Amino acid sequence: MTSNKAEEILETLWITLEEKKKSSVVAADIGLTAEDTSLPELISSKLVTVAPDLKIVLTENGRKYGRSIVRRHRLAERLLEDVLDVKGDILNKKACEFEHILHQGIDDKICALLGHPKLCPHGHEIPSGECCEKKSLHLKIVSPLSGLTPGQSGKIAYVHSKDDEKIQKIIAIGGFPGTKITLLQSFPSFLFKIGNSEFAVDESIAEDIFVRLDDEENKNGQSAVSRKNAYRVIFCTLWFG
């Protein structure tokens, strides 16, 4: 099993080489010293190699492992902020601790509970998993507006879109994080209520608005996951898989 420190180094390497597309990394670039045992651990695990010019290179297994660590970290950030209301500087620190708990398989369950989020709270992409293609788990804490049924309500957790025009439109109608939102109808367009106003958008915008579901009973008779139940589900998921 790879140590937590080695995983953190692998995470940094993946972000630097794969996401930021930097051509090379040497040990000093990521704060490694000659006394550090983490790099030899990664080499012996065949997750990285070190070239004669001391540049560190990810192996194919290293790239896959690094990607999974980044995925776990960013899912942990979403879980902590959207469900457990952890904010500020402590968010990243706690996410670093959480990422080592969200092993393969468990991360997919958390991802499904959160409605398959696309961005972490800092705006970085969350690498997708198999669950994001299947989207088979019905129990959710956070869901895209497009995944709600008429009568369900909650507060906007966050908005994700690479289209500036969509973002501007959502902002213009008051779609800010923390705002109360209720879906009124889903066909032919998504009609929802914010405050005393009603708005209609197409599916491409509705799927970019992520809503943390209310604790109370919804108008259609279906209960959203309560905060207490959410904690229970998360605890059981983490400890029992």
Element of type H or E holding 113: helix 106-113
On whether both 155 and 218 belong to a single domain, the answer is yes
Residue 168 lies inside a defined structural domain of this protein: yes
Output the six-digit token pair for 78: 């979403």
CB 138 within 8 A of CB 129: no
On whether both 240 and 135 belong to a single domain, the answer is yes
Question: Nearest to residue 238, comparing CAs of 117, 9, 86, 80?
Answer: 80
Q: Any idea what DSSP says for residue 222?
A: P
**Number of domains into which the chain is organized:** 3
Q: Residue 125's beta-bridge partner residues?
A: 119
On whether both 169 and 195 belong to a single domain, the answer is yes
What is the rounded CA–CA span in Å between residue 94 and residue 110? 16
Whether the model clears a pTM of 0.75, i.e. scores above it, the answer is: no
On whether both 48 and 107 belong to a single domain, the answer is no
What are the pLDDT digits (tens) for 77-108? 988 887 777 877 788 788 887 777 777 678 88
Question: Nearest to residue 185, comparing CAs of 221, 155, 218, 152?
Answer: 152
On whether both 148 and 122 belong to a single domain, the answer is no
What are the pLDDT digits (tens) for 165-219? 888 899 899 998 889 999 999 999 999 999 999 999 999 999 999 998 876 534 4
On whether both 210 and 152 belong to a single domain, the answer is yes
What is the rounded CA–CA span in Å between residue 177 and residue 101? 28
Domain interval for residue 54: 4-58
On whether both 122 and 21 belong to a single domain, the answer is no
CB 126 within 8 A of CB 77: no
